[in-house]
A and B are shown apart, each in its own frame.
Chain A
Amino acid sequence: MSRKIELQVEDLSIFFGGLVAVDGVSFHIKKGQIVGLIGPNGAGKTTIFNLLTGVYAPTRGDIYLEEKSLLKYKTYQRCQMGLSRTFQNIRLFKDLSVIDNVKTAMTQQMHYSMLSGVFRGPGYRKEEREISRRAHELLGLMGLDEFAHDYARNLPYGQQRKLEIARALASGPKVLLLDEPAAGMNPTETAELMETVKMLRDRFDISVLLIEHDMNFVMDICEYIFVLDYGRIIARGEPAEIQGDERVIEAYLGGDALDDEAEDA
């Protein structure tokens, strides 16, 4: 099955002074694919996310979203173009309501003027009604609608992670970047999350690139996996190939660690 390439990264590199954080990384993600990015701590996974979203400018290389180079665009523009992310340590708008967290990410999909907003003009009422409906729908999909009017900071940890995904979806992404979505979750929550991610992929027709340390999660959900070590991709392939790859086992998993982890589940 040949699918359209959604996100393409070519020879992506960044040096921090003398430190080579990411070195000549090239990969692409096809439409509707769920792709995993794994590797030991400090391998440069989150740095790649930061490069993709424009937090850092790469020393070398280029990033294309639907064949359009992203390098000259700022973070917020890249998000509007269809690249949104979650964070390793959750970054919600804690003192806003759950639904406002989602609505905030929809800001750019509304077009009423500031004066219309201040004086509650027809544009305001029409668009706010529509956005409110969509936000509730999205929250319902993530099982968060009952908390819509609670403060985000009052949500339990697992729900906060979900809300962050909901917020990332609200901006209408083509590619969703998830930074350790299962971190700190118990096995039940992780399993639930797996289903959610698949469901969202099917429903919104998006591609997903995720960083994750939970091997069961990665092996189960990802169609394709890249393994990063010292800023380079040392292996790539389908989960079965990665599990059997000598270099991966040596460099990252350390001997038979993978088998141990697989038995844990």
Chain B
Amino acid sequence: MAGKPMTKTKKRGIASLGTLVVVAAVYVLMRVFIASGSLSAYVIGMINLCCINVIAAVSLNMVTGLMGQLVLGHAGFMLVGAYATSIFAKESGMALGASLPIGLVLAGVLAAVTGLLIGIPALRLRGDYLAIITLGFGKIIEVLARYFKGITNGAKGYSGFPTFNVNKQPDGLFSYVFLVAAFVIFFSYTFGTSRHGRAVLAIREDEIAAENSGINTTYYKLLTFTLSAFFAGVAGGFLAQYVSIIDPSKYDFNFSIEILMMVVLGGMGSITGSVISASVLTLLPELLRGFAQYRMLIYSVVLIIVMLFRPKGLLGRAEIQVIKPFEWLLRKFGKKPAASGKGGEGA
């Protein structure tokens, strides 16, 4: 944790390539496993849900972690995306393989536009005020979804849109959601280390100093907020696919808080932290099913303990590189290390 901040070295290129190889290998292996039928539909579902929550958490981390602005209406953007993807899939009449990618982009764009509209007035405010406004926004979206019954089928839930058949195509959703999750992680990391990302981090650190360093804080806040809404919309689109019905009351304040919890627990500003804690918090309630009525109690206690002993979250602001364990293996058994640990992010 006391490591040095990110540095750029030439070794990073090798490390990125290594990470790409590892991620691709995991993807191929998973698809082989799923196709071979060695994983049950339940396990595949859990993996998909993890990926969806990772997208949601990493996208929220962009605003809350990197930019330091508290947002309590992330589920609202997801709901917009959920409807966009599902309605498009149903109404376009295209095969799911074609309509899903288009629908997801549509979901992102619609959520981003919503984000822009809410962001223009809301981002003038700082800290708590922004949290309250986004809280209100999340509620409004949920209420609107229930009100426009003609489009959304209201509180009864929107269903009947095409989804992947788990029996015929067990890896259908996985093949998309994993790649998108990997892309969102990649995007959020490279964005964070570009000139735009530095400006965003500066806003988190000290908005007044950022403004006095020539940074158009309003622009960068809107940009990040919109990007975050875009990916939240995509996550919502996937969630609708996973659940195969959209119940607007599920995309409520509690859900927003759940995603926020993933970000806080992983360490605000740490992308890999969000990934790990999103996965853990998705799996934990499932793994604890055996304990029946105690499971939510254990879940809560875990949260309290983590916050007591690691108030900055599991990883703080540090990142873990996927390639690290492999480098270690190489050093131990191989001839020479592919990339030294120095170029990485202390974790």
Contact = CB atoms under 8 A, between A and B. Distances in A.
Most buried by A among B4, B198, B213, B223: B213
Contacts of A171: 213-214
Q: How big is the A interface, by class?
A: 35 or more
A108 B205 contact: no
A209 B211 CA distance: 20
B106 interface: no
Interface stretch (B21-29, B139-147, B173-181, B187-195): B187-195
Nearest to B211: A75
Nearest to A75: B211
A124 interface: yes
A92 B211 CA distance: 12
B209 A91 contact: yes
B5 A87 contact: no
Contact of B202 (A79, A80, A104): A104
Interface in B169-223: 187, 190-191, 194-199, 201-202, 205-206, 208-217, 223
Interface in B135-168: none
Contact of B196 (A74, A85, A117, A120): A117
B231 to A, nearest CB: 12
A80 B216 CA distance: 10
A135 to B, nearest CB: 11
Contacts of A112: 194-195
B195 A93 contact: no
Nearest to A112: B195
A117 B214 contact: no
A141 interface: no
Interface in A99-128: 100, 103-105, 107-108, 110, 112, 114, 117-120, 124, 127-128
A110 B196 CA distance: 10
B182 to A, nearest CB: 14
A79 to B, nearest CB: 4
Contacts of B195: 103, 107, 110, 112, 117, 127-128, 131
Given A117-B194, A117-B195, A118-B187, A104 B206 contact: no
A157 interface: no
Given A104-B202, A117-B197, A119-B190, A167 B213 contact: yes
Contacts of A92: 205-206, 209
Contacts of B7: 97, 149
A172 B311 CA distance: 39
B194 A114 contact: yes
A239 B299 CA distance: 69
B212 A53 contact: yes
Instruction: Please classify the interface of chain B as helix (H, G, I), strand (E, B), loop, or mixed, using the class held by over half of its residues.
Output: helix
A56 interface: no
Interface in A40-55: 53, 55
Contact of B205 (A74, A76, A94): A94
A95 interface: yes
Contact of A84 (B196, B198, B206, B214): B214
A105 B214 contact: yes
A97 B196 CA distance: 16
A92 B205 CA distance: 8
A96 interface: yes
A64 interface: no
Given A75-B211, A104-B215, A108-B215, A95 B223 contact: no
Most buried by B among A87, A95, A103, A112: A95
B6 interface: yes
A214 interface: no
A93 B199 contact: no
A53 B214 CA distance: 11
A76 B211 contact: yes
Given A96-B201, A124-B194, A149 B4 contact: yes
B5 A96 contact: yes
B205 A95 contact: yes
27 contacts: A55-B208, A75-B211, A76-B211, A76-B214, A76-B215, A76-B217, A79-B214, A84-B212, A92-B209, A93-B205, A93-B206, A93-B209, A94-B206, A100-B198, A100-B201, A107-B196, A108-B214, A114-B223, A117-B190, A117-B194, A127-B195, A131-B195, A132-B8, A149-B5, A149-B7, A150-B4, A151-B5
